[in-house]
Amino acid sequence: MKRTLLSLGISVPALLVPLNLLVGWAILPPMLLDAPLPARTEAERNAIRASLCPSGCAWTSETLPGGEGRPLMIWRLHRPASRGVAVFLHGFGDDAWGGASRLRDLPELDAVVFTFRNRDLAPGTPSTLGGWEREDAAAVVRHLEAQGVRRDRIVLVGASQGAGVALLALERLEGEGPLGGALLESPFESLQEAGRNHLRGTLGAAEWLLRPGERLALARAGWLAHFRPAEVSPLEASRHLRTPIALLAGDEDAITPLSGVRAIAAHHPDFTVVPGARHLEAGGLVPGGWRAWAEVRLGKWGIL
């Protein structure tokens, strides 16, 4: 019996060491950096834009320097008698057009959409879950200001990765004053927790056995994509923000668990929890609908 236990005590660590090296060096970094995007043709993008642009409005596009100095193409939907601009920030593994139907819920605002890091037009550009994406979002806000849009008329609208990026971008931007507001669904707590939650969804309680591999993976991803993973923390970014922020989440969300959103909500108490909602279902299940939820906040913030 003692010999068996001793054998197990030696063999388990002997297996875990190479497994953590494999996960941290070869498996997790590509899952973060090379997240696939929806395959869309230009004709499909045109069709989406046309469906969101009734009579009286128009789309324009521009390219500006984004994070790391990379070109960033943005699309703006101009609406008659607009009362501000909503900047839409998409989720992980999505592009500018995946959640664009949400534009219909804010008909009194212009809308700006773009794909983080221009990844839909520049294949091979790494995703960094906020490391460089926050600079894209900040660049768009500054571009709008340079065009004459007042800062207090700009609203960030984000879901999942986009919600976390909004908080990170606000930390960058608020040195020049708060924005009009931010409507955020299911922001992630930190890059470390996001990776941990992803593995936990696959491995369950055994996830803790691969934590050395998680740390190695973040370090390697940061080295490959030239960013600092430890600084990608929407929770830390949220602590001193002055921009009005409204949070929305489901209590059955396993991707961005409620505990992490609650930690952010400790600093921004306008927080709506939707019972039974899983990841990114809260907006569709919130009583009255997402549009009504958003309009109450925009009215309170003096935008509508």
The span from the CA of 124 to the CA of 104, in Å, is: 32
Residue among 57, 101, 110 nearest 82 (CA): 110
Residue 94 lies in a domain: yes
Kindly report, residue by residue over 169-193, the tens digit of the pLDDT: 999 999 999 999 999 999 999 999 9
Residue 198 lies in a domain: no
Kindly report, residue by residue over 80-96, the tens digit of the pLDDT: 999 999 999 999 999 99
Kindly report, residue by residue over 238-272, the tens digit of the pLDDT: 999 999 999 999 999 999 999 999 999 999 999 99
Kindly report, residue by residue over 109-159, the tens digit of the pLDDT: 999 999 999 999 998 999 999 999 999 999 999 999 999 999 999 999 999
Number of structural domains (the chain) is 1
Residue 265 lies in a domain: yes
Kindly report, residue by residue over 60-76, the tens digit of the pLDDT: 999 999 999 999 999 99
273: domain range? 57-190+233-300
Kindly report, residue by residue over 208-234, the tens digit of the pLDDT: 777 888 898 899 999 999 999 999 999
Q: Going along the chain, which residue ranges are E strands?
A: 58-65, 71-78, 85-89, 110-114, 154-159, 181-185, 245-250, 271-274
Residue 209 lies in a domain: no
Tell me the backbone φ, ψ of residue 271, rounded to 5 degrees.
-135, 120
CATH of residue 154's domain is 3.40.50.1820
